[in-house]
Amino acid sequence: MLDERLAHWDKQGVTALVFTHPLLPGTVSMSHSAWYQNDFEDEQAISDVLSKYNDVVAFTSHSHSSLKQNNWWGTRRCDGTPQGAIGLPVVNTGAILNEYLPDGDHDEEIVDDKAATGLRVKVYDDRIRVEAWDFKDGHGPANPEGEAKMIKYQDLAKQYRLSTPTVQPPAEPTPETDADSVSAEGSSAGAKAALVIGIVAALGGAFAFIASQFGDQLRGLLPAPIAGLR
């Protein structure tokens, strides 16, 4: 079961790479098309599971969409969980032999019937790097086999689960340490009191100096008293 496997790897702190052939609507290239809105029997069910975990990257296929498009990856946000607010990265695998581009809002057209593209995924401690590759770029009469060439890449930051540290209650003093604790607390309190008094005294002295130096100037700025008023 997907939920159980994701929970297992989440506890291990391992990034989960989830691959589906059906296309997740509203995520990557051409997934807005009417052709791909019902690939999943229960789209809400898989969204509810994926949105529970932070450290997950989903890879989706089926469309034969070209990896040269700028929206070859996207973020799917799912309401209902704190993790869902962060969003789930979704990437077009681009593992195709027939390469398509959109034709209007809901149609598509083939641009290369002998394509050879796909992804290379590298997992680091702090990120996932997804590279889009053309595995036959540069082919021609002098180079019939072609050579691999990276089209572009995207770094996806790992989203670790946020947790609130457990607050430990203060330890109960024992008879052996009670006297020492009181003495230490008294000494600490006395030092703090002395520090506060020193700061107040310093501020008071500074204020007195300023008042003595600028008192006459400040009084000169005040309006003259009105006769009959005190």
pLDDT band at 102 (very low <50, low <70, confident <90, very high): confident
pLDDT band at 173 (very low <50, low <70, confident <90, very high): low
pTM exceeds 0.75: no
pLDDT band at 85 (very low <50, low <70, confident <90, very high): low
**Parallel, antiparallel or unpaired: strands 117-123 and 99-103:** unpaired
pLDDT band at 221 (very low <50, low <70, confident <90, very high): very low
Residues forming beta bridges with residue 75, ordered by sequence position: 89
Residue appearing with tokens 């890449």: 153
CA separation for the pair 166, 102 (Å, rounded): 52
The answer for residues whose C-beta is within 8 angstroms of residue 109's C-beta and 6 or more apart is: 100, 101, 102, 103
Residue 139 has pLDDT above 70, yes or no: no
Residues 216-228, buried b or exposed e (16+ Cβ, 10 A)?
Answer: eeeeeeeeeeeee
> What value, to the nearest 5°, has the Cα angle with vertex 169 and ends 167 and 172?
160
Q: What is the mean pLDDT of residues 123-146?
A: 80
Domain ranges of the chain: 2-157, 182-221
CA separation for the pair 66, 78 (Å, rounded): 26
The answer for residues whose C-beta is within 8 angstroms of residue 85's C-beta and 6 or more apart is: 77, 79
**Distance, C-alpha 105 to centroid of its chain:** 31
pLDDT band at 172 (very low <50, low <70, confident <90, very high): low
From the list 137, 7, 116, the residue with the least C-alpha distance to 64 is 116
**Parallel, antiparallel or unpaired: strands 88-92 and 99-103:** unpaired
Task: Dump pLDDT digits (tens) for 115-132.
Answer: 889 999 999 988 999 999
Given a contact cutoff of 8 angstroms between Cβ atoms, the answer to whether 161 and 10 are in contact is: yes
CA separation for the pair 48, 1 (Å, rounded): 14
Straight-line distance from the first to the last Cα atom of the chain, in angstroms, rounded to the nearest whole number:
87
pLDDT band at 111 (very low <50, low <70, confident <90, very high): confident
Q: Which two tokens stand for residue 34?
A: 């009417």
For residue 176, give Cα distances in angstroms to 10, 128, 179, 180, 218: 45, 54, 7, 8, 62
Q: What is the pLDDT of residue 113?
A: 83
